[in-house]
Amino acid sequence: MLKLERGQKLVVATHNAGKLREFKTLLEPFGLELVSAGELDLPEPEETGLTYEENAKIKALAATTASGLWALSDDSGLSVDGLDGDPGIYSARWAGPDKNFDDAMVKVHTSLMEKGAMAPGQRTAAFVAVLCLANPAGETVCFEGRAEGTLVWPPRGNQGFGYDPMFQPKGHMRTFGEMSEAEKHSWSKDKIGLSHRSRAFSEFVKDCCPDD
Ligand X SMILES: O=P(O)(O)OP(=O)(O)OP(=O)(O)OC[C@H]1O[C@@H](n2cnc3c(O)ncnc32)[C@H](O)[C@@H]1O
Quick one: angle between helices 196-208 and 17-27, nearest 10? Answer: 40
**Where does residue 96 fall: left (phi above 0), alpha (psi -120 to 50 degrees), or beta otherwise?**
left
* Cα radius of gyration (the chain): 17
Q: Alpha-carbon distance 21 to 4, whole Å?
A: 20
Among 10, 19, 62, 125, binds ligand X (CB under 6 A): 19
Interaction between residue 164 and ligand X (CB under 6 A)? yes
Segment interacting with ligand X (CB under 6 A) among 71-79, 106-114, 151-159, 201-209: 71-79
Which residues have a catalytic role annotated? Answer: 75
Interaction between residue 92 and Mg ion (CB under 5 A)? yes
How many residues contact ligand X, by CB under 6 A?
Answer: 21
Among 23, 67, 75, 200, binds ligand X (CB under 6 A): 75
Amino acid at site 193: G
14 or 140, CB closer to ligand X? 14
Return the one option of Mg ion, ligand X, none that residue 185 interacts with (CB less than 5 to 8 A, by type). Answer: none
Return the one option of ligand X, Mg ion, none that residue 91 interacts with (CB less than 5 to 8 A, by type). Answer: ligand X
Peptide bond into 87 cis (omega under 30): yes
- Looking at residue 211, what DSSP letter applies? P
